[in-house]
């Protein structure tokens, strides 16, 4: 497969490296292309999103690298547009649409901050019912294309990030299945491609990429396309898990 990654974070959001360090890493790895996808600004969370000022510098820097390294590698300027981000996506080469929060009782609650925060959200906002939390999450996922007009659907089942041992919720539970299926059905009607994302594997949270095998199987059975990504936050992991990707997708193609 072509070793190119289009889901790449830099130090302008929560990544470790500068855009130039990542371009150089991609060239060293023989990538024909690299796409940057900084976290879009949100007014309610500065912990991992780019500020407006950083977004301007991010755009200028990546556009500058396109000129500097244009004869060596194709560089794309993208954005990982959060579902709740009010920023415009005009001017980017492509958009990844992602849900990182659920909005509940007027608050934006982070879906992927930590296992402890997920437990606290389920307790405080959903009376301990994790499936209600998941239903709200998937309602936003179902709507992510309409809201962001993304070309790529980011980490479809991010809410499963901390459920490695299966003790937060049962992924086979009818309510979880119904919520995920409804989101999948809505997105099957769009032109967006689904991302197979090893970001949580690279950071040791999961042993399989997003989305789960049953979701990926249903997506592929509908004749839809996928794109591989490492959701890179560290140049050392730019192509994390790429060697295992083809077998993983092939196993889900029936
Ligand atoms: Zn994301
Ligand atoms: Zn990301």
pLDDT band, very low/low/confident/very high, at 128 (cuts 50, 70, 90) = very high
Tokens of 208: 């399989």
Q: Is the pLDDT of residue 162 over 90?
A: yes
Cα 154 to ligand 1 centre (Å) = 6
Ligand 2 (ion): residues with CB under 5 Å are 80, 231
Residue 84 lies in a domain: yes
How confident is the prediction for the chain on average, in pLDDT? 96
Q: What pLDDT score does 228 carry?
A: 94
Q: What distance separates the 2 farthest-apart alpha carbons in the chain? A: 56
Q: What pLDDT score does 245 carry?
A: 85
Could you list the residue range(s) of the whole structural domain that residue 195 is in? 19-252
Q: What pLDDT score does 172 carry?
A: 95
Residue 89 lies in a domain: yes
Residue 224 lies in a domain: yes
What length is written for the chain? Answer: 254
Cα 153 to ligand 2 centre (Å) = 11
Cα 18 to ligand 2 centre (Å) = 15
Cα 9 to ligand 1 centre (Å) = 10
Q: Is the pLDDT of residue 178 over 80?
A: yes
Residue 188 lies in a domain: yes
Q: Which ligand is nearest to the CA of 79?
A: 2
Residue 91 lies in a domain: yes
pLDDT band, very low/low/confident/very high, at 207 (cuts 50, 70, 90) = confident
Residue 5 lies in a domain: no
Query: Where residue 131 sits, what CATH number does that domain have?
Result: 3.20.20.140
Q: What pLDDT score does 46 carry?
A: 85
Q: What is the pLDDT of residues 37-69, one digit of tens each?
A: 999 999 999 889 999 999 999 999 999 999 999
Q: Is the pLDDT of residue 122 over 80?
A: yes
pLDDT band, very low/low/confident/very high, at 137 (cuts 50, 70, 90) = very high
Residue 110 lies in a domain: yes
Q: Is the pLDDT of residue 196 over 90?
A: yes
Q: Is the pLDDT of residue 230 over 90?
A: yes
Cα 126 to ligand 1 centre (Å) = 23
- 225 Cβ partners below 8 Å, 6+ apart? 193, 194
Cα 136 to ligand 1 centre (Å) = 17
Count of domains observed in the chain: 1
Ligand 1 (ion): residues with CB under 5 Å are 98
Q: Is the pLDDT of residue 202 over 90?
A: no
Q: What pLDDT score does 100 carry?
A: 98
Residue 12 lies in a domain: no
pLDDT band, very low/low/confident/very high, at 159 (cuts 50, 70, 90) = very high
Cα 120 to ligand 2 centre (Å) = 23
Q: Is the pLDDT of residue 254 over 80?
A: no
Residue predicted with more confidence, 242 or 66:
66
Q: Is the pLDDT of residue 229 over 90?
A: yes
Q: Is the pLDDT of residue 1 over 80?
A: no
């Amino acid at each position: 497969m072509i070793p190119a990654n289009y889901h790449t974070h830099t130090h302008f959001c929560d990544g470790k490296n500068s855009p130039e360090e990542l371009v150089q890493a991609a060239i060293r790895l023989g990538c024909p292309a690299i796409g940057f996808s900084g976290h879009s600004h949100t007014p309610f969370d500065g912990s991992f999103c780019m500020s407006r000022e950083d977004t301007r510098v991010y755009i200028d820097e990546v556009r500058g690298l396109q000129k500097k390294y244009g004869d060596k590698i194709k560089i794309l300027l993208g954005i990982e547009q959060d579902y709740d981000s009010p920023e415009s996506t005009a001017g980017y080469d492509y958009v990844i649409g992602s849900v990182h929060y659920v909005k509940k009782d007027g608050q934006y609650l982070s879906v992927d901050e930590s296992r402890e925060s997920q437990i606290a959200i389920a307790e405080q906002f959903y009376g301990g019912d994790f499936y209600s939390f998941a239903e709200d999450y998937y309602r936003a996922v179902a709507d992510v294309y309409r809201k962001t007009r993304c070309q790529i659907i980011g980490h479809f089942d991010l809410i499963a990030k901390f459920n490695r041992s299966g003790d937060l919720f049962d992924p086979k539970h009818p309510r979880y299945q119904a919520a995920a299926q409804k989101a999948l059905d809505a997105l099957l009607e769009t032109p967006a491609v689904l991302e197979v994302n090893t970001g949580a594997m690279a950071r040791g949270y999961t042993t399989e990429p997003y989305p789960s095998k049953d979701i990926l199987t249903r997506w592929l059975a509908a004749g839809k396309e996928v794109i591989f990504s490492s959701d890179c936050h560290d140049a050392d992991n730019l192509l994390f898990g790429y060697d295992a990707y083809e077998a993983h997708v092939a196993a889900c193609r029936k």
